[in-house]
Amino acid sequence: MLEKALTGSRRYWAWIFVLLAITGIGFIYYLKQFNYGLGITGMGRDVSWGLYIGQFTFLVGVAASGVMVVLPYYLHNYKVFGKITILGEFLAIPAVIMCLLFILVDLGQPMRFMNIFLHPTPNSVLFWDAVVLNVYLLLNILIGWTVLGAEKKGIAPPKWIKPFIYLSIIWAPSIHTVTAFIYAGLPGRHLWLTAIMAARFLASAFSSGPALLIILAMFIRRFTKFDPGKEAIQALGKIVTYFMITNVFFLGLEIFTAFYSQIPGHMHPFQYLYAGIEGKGRLVPMMWTSAILAVFSLILLINPATRKNERTLAMASAAVFISLWIEKGFGLVVGGFIPNPFEKVTEYWPTIPETWITAGVWAIGFLILTVLYKVAVSIREEEIA
């Protein structure tokens, strides 16, 4: 089936080469980081996780969100999603690969990464995260490839794949729950020490992931002969709406608890993120951009007229995606380290090499996504023809 990705329009190849070029630059910067050490990034003693781990956290959500199209189709026989389950599964694959790559580029001793499996440590959440992510990756490759292969031959998917599909439906929330536990169980990091962390993660995942799917589906409809279906896009729109409301609600809960209790440690990270402390507020503009985009998207999503209008739905989806990318891919991880354990404010901002390495990993992800979607779309186009 992969041969479908080897033929394409001039535009397709141009896109591929752009991604390869970004990957290449990212790789060169990674070699630099490999030689010099992680000191090449903006991270330091106080903010010891940054953009890489933020991206990892955000992308686990995108990966998990595939379940939002798989579940209604397989458990509720919601036929409208039949055409796009493959898009959900094929989105999960590059998302998980990006997650693993972001962990890898964040390691101080990447050559020793196998130590996680050579010395398995069940009390470490990171160990479990490595396990669940790899299993989820394998599940999605297996399911996506098998189902699409059957479709290509014009037959129903084999029966043995069903248990794997049900397993993947349970597995998806688990990957994001485990990822939330990385943060939610640490004493002394007030922003993260919250029982609703996993719930927040799932809410943001199930809004940002389907939002991306809406944009991808519209893109495919515009540039290929395959139409994922207006109804499917509208159904995704409703999913995004409800989970975005939940997401903002959960953030409100956190802010209430912190500020009504007036416990300084709980208020500090929020104060830093949204107002700045001691005149230091590097993340404030970004966090407010995220907040404004969230409100903007909710206005468009909750209002039926603007949700049904695909133009405004696309805008709302983009707003959701960017808003949550900032909130989770940046603010949540960095904010957890500020103020530091000594109640001092050390700020963080990614460096140029760090940004390029991040872009490089995203480019690899988009490359895999492009190839997989190209295969899926080509097979659909053949069916139509």
Partner 1 sequence: MDRREFLKLTAITAIATAGGISALEILRDKELEAHEAHTPDTKPLTAKRWAMVVNIRKFKTEDDYKKVMDACRRAHNVPDFGNPKDEIKWIWTDTFEHSFPGQEHKYMPEDLKHMPFLLLCNHCDNPPCVRVCPTKATFKRKDGIVMMDMHRCIGCRFCMAACPFGARSFNWRDPRPFVKEINPEFPTRTKGVVEKCNFCEERLAVGRMPACVEASKGGLIFGDLEDPNSDVRKVLGSHYTIRRKSELGTGPGVYYIV
The residue within the footprint of partner 1, chosen from 10, 45, 76, 153 (CB under 8 A), is 45
Q: Residues 204-233 vs partner 1: string with x where CB under 8 A?
A: ------------------------------
Q: Are 314 and 214 in contact (CB under 8 A)?
A: yes
**Closer to partner 1 at the Cβ: 110 or 252?**
110
Is residue 242 part of the contact set for partner 1 (CB under 8 A)? no
Is residue 121 part of the contact set for partner 1 (CB under 8 A)? yes
**Closer to partner 1 at the Cβ: 186 or 295?**
186
Q: Which among 45-53, 243-251, 291-299, 302-310 is the span making contact with partner 1, rule CB under 8 A?
A: 45-53
Give the distance from CA 226 to its chain's centroid. 25
Is residue 286 part of the contact set for partner 1 (CB under 8 A)? no
CA neighbor of 171 nearest in space, from 212, 146, 143:
143
DSSP label at residue 120: -
For residue 319, list its beta bridge partners.
none
Q: How far apart are CA 210 and CA 238, in angstroms?
A: 10
Query: Treating both helix axes as pointing N-terminal to C-terminal, what angle do 51-64 and 197-223 enclose, rounded to 10 degrees?
Result: 70
- Give min distance, CB of 168 to partner 1, in A: 24
**Closer to partner 1 at the Cβ: 113 or 296?**
113
274 C-beta neighbours (distance < 10 Å), count? 17
Q: How far apart are CA 60 and CA 97, in angstroms?
A: 10
Site for partner 1 in 125-144 (CB under 8 A): 125-127, 130
Q: Which among 54-62, 69-77, 180-188, 363-371 is the span making contact with partner 1, rule CB under 8 A?
A: 180-188
Q: Are 64 and 172 in contact (CB under 8 A)?
A: yes
**Closer to partner 1 at the Cβ: 12 or 127?**
127
Q: Which among 55-63, 65-73, 139-147, 181-189 is the span making contact with partner 1, rule CB under 8 A?
A: 181-189
Site for partner 1 in 325-354 (CB under 8 A): 336-337, 340-344, 346
Q: How far apart are CA 316 and CA 323, in angstroms?
A: 10
Concatenating the DSSP letter of every residue in 305-343 gives HHHHSHHHHHHHHHHHHHHHHHIIIIIIHHHHTSS-TTS
Residues that bind partner 1 (CB under 8 A): 36-39, 43-46, 48-49, 103, 106-110, 112-113, 115-116, 118-119, 121, 123-127, 130, 182-183, 185-189, 264-265, 336-337, 340-344, 346
